[in-house]
Amino acid sequence: MSTKSFPWFTHSVIYRTIEVSVKYTTKSPLRIGSEKGKSPTSSVDLQVITMNINGTEVPFIPGSSLKGVFRSSSEFIARSYGIRACMMGEGCKNDYDLDLQRFMKSGDVDSIINTLSKYCLTCKIFGSASYYSHISFSDAYPKNQVPRRGVKTGIAIDRRSGAVKKGALYTVEFVMPGSEFEGSIRFYNLPNYAIGLISTVLNNINLGIIKIGGFKSRGFGTVEVTPKELRGSVLVGSSYESISEKGELLPLDEDDELVKFSNVSEFLEECRRVWINYVRKKHSS
Ligand SMILES: [Zn+2]
């Protein structure tokens, strides 16, 4: 099978799977709220999300929260460079999902590929209601130590009148600065320029431009993301080879470029260079 018959944005052939393991270190209070609501035994009104590990409630960073941040930030960055990217997949979902479902039902492969090619870049990366994602974020768990939590008191404001609600003090829980979590980001069939876009988001998180979780306007959510290790395999002929042995990744389509690397930081940096070249090509064509 050639790359011509099945472009990377289909899921028909697995050309490459790349995993970057990362460490998230909180540089300010981090608040990712629990969806369960208030536990009757807790004295805090708004708890952070936790997971029960061996009888202890341990805060973690859900992969779904990370995916949300990376998606909205990727869309923003792509648009700021003049690359078509819809908002949280809504545009492409409305325009192409029905066609896609219809062609999938009838098994019309050429029409499926043609429809998928129309989705914007961020939908090709992050997926849509009917279109499987090419990226995944694992939940990030504390490695050695259970992160310490703090509590802040807020004043509830009536949304309609803007006045302080009567007797409405509430308590908000957060994870303390200096807490460490470990997780991973996986790329399935993503071209080097698309990984470069994700790498740009990662850089902006480290610069404090992009924050994670709630209470961002009050200085919460600054996180440092440290890439640790690069693993993965690429399809060469009819078998898979480890990317760390190869030290290079070939272009996946005509807009893509070769990257060479000897470690994970170099890999992410090289992909950012290819992303900028991709933007240039799109503007000159
Ligand atoms: Zn889209």
pLDDT level of residue 137 (50, 70, 90 thresholds): very high
- The 10s digit of each residue's pLDDT in 172-183 is 899 999 999 999
Tell me the domain boundaries of the chain.
16-284
Ligand 1 center from residue 94 Cα (angstroms): 9
Which residues sit opposite 234 in a β-bridge?
16, 241
Classify burial at 168, counting beta carbons within 10 Å of its beta carbon; exposed 0-12, middle 13-18, buried 19 or more: exposed
**Given a cut of 50, is residue 170 above it in pLDDT?**
yes
pLDDT level of residue 3 (50, 70, 90 thresholds): very low
Q: Which residues surround ligand 1, an ion (CB under 5 A)?
A: 86, 92, 120, 123
Closest listed residue to residue 187, CA positions, set 19, 72, 23: 19
Q: Alpha-carbon distance 243 to 107, whole Å? A: 34
- The 10s digit of each residue's pLDDT in 71-121 is 999 999 999 999 999 998 889 999 999 999 999 999 899 999 999 999 999
Name residue, tokens 């994970």.
264
* Amino acid 144: pLDDT: 83
Residues 6+ apart with CB under 8 A from 20: 184, 185, 186, 187, 227, 228, 229, 230, 264, 267, 268
How many residues can be counted in the chain?
Answer: 285
- The conformation of residue 33, written as its DSSP 8-state character, comes to B
Ligand 1 center from residue 123 Cα (angstroms): 4
Ligand 1 center from residue 284 Cα (angstroms): 22
Quote the pTM value.
Answer: 0.91
**Given a cut of 80, is residue 43 above it in pLDDT?**
no
* Amino acid 1: pLDDT: 41
Q: Alpha-carbon distance 83 to 91, whole Å? A: 14
Name residue, tokens 């997780």.
183
Q: Alpha-carbon distance 201 to 125, whole Å? A: 14
Ligand 1 center from residue 256 Cα (angstroms): 20
pLDDT level of residue 168 (50, 70, 90 thresholds): confident
Query: Angle between the 192-206 and 264-284 helix axes, to the nearest 10 degrees?
Result: 110
